[in-house]
Amino acid sequence: DVKVTQSSRYLVKRTGEKVFLECVQDMDHENMFWYRQDPGLGLRLIYFSYDVKMKEKGDIPEGYSVSREKKERFSLILESASTNQTSMYLCASSTGTEAFFGQGTRLTVV
Amino acid sequence: QQQVKQSPQSLIVQKGGISIINCAYENTAFDYFPWYQQFPGKGPALLIAIRPDVSEKKEGRFTISFNKSAKQFSLHIMDSQPGDSATYFCAARGGNTPLVFGKGTRLSVIA
């Protein structure tokens, strides 16, 4: 059974903190993605990676960075968390067709 | 610039009725059109997908209708059930580019 695991279901962080969201997949997929989900806005792409050490900006990369040191792990980093980054964050992986999503991390920045 | 426009934003359907969600796109390079289903507290999961070489694909009670000339595609849920209550996202992609999602439709099926 395919699996994308996000390290936390819920996180509460303070404004200005550096925040790490971790994602691990066990399907040996090349492609990994970070999306942000907000009511009425759907899923918006933050960053993606098609290979280890490779990263590409998505539609809303400002305030975020990513790290992919190993094929199975893709981390999203909020360099200095702000309240407008309060959201649901979804990690996904794919071979090129179907994308498999993790269950999401609901981040609240206070 | 919204690449995939989805409507309606919310939908209430009686049990046994037909649920219809519509999406429109602009980019003619798109060649893969999936629909994702998301239950509360879960990540989206692939429901059904279509490529533009066919006009319709059916899987059980779920059907995608695709109109290439109009650049539109829709999801039909026949005999809608309360268990179908979820948020549905259409998406599109061209080649190996990332999926672009619509804004979602919250479906409620009432008995």
Span A86-109, pLDDT tens digits: 999 999 999 878 899 999 999 999
* A29 band by pLDDT with thresholds 50, 70 and 90: very high
pLDDT at residue B83 greater than cutoff 70: yes
* B1 band by pLDDT with thresholds 50, 70 and 90: low
β-partners of residue B3 are none
What is the average pLDDT score of chain A? 95
β-partners of residue B86 are B107
- Which chain A residues have any C-beta within 8 angstroms of a chain B C-beta? 4, 31, 33, 35, 40-45, 48, 50, 58, 90, 92, 96-104
pLDDT at residue A57 greater than cutoff 70: yes
Chain B interface mutation, best of A97, A103, A105, A106, highest count of B Cβ atoms under 10 Å: A97
Find out whether B90 and B98 touch, Cβ atoms under 8 Å: no
**How far apart, in whole angstroms, are the C-alpha atoms of residue A44 and residue B101?**
7
Which two structure tokens, joined as six digits, stand for A67? 């790290």
Find out whether B14 and B77 touch, Cβ atoms under 8 Å: no
- For residue A80, the distance in angstroms to the closest alpha carbon of chain B comes to 26
pLDDT score recorded for residue B92: 95
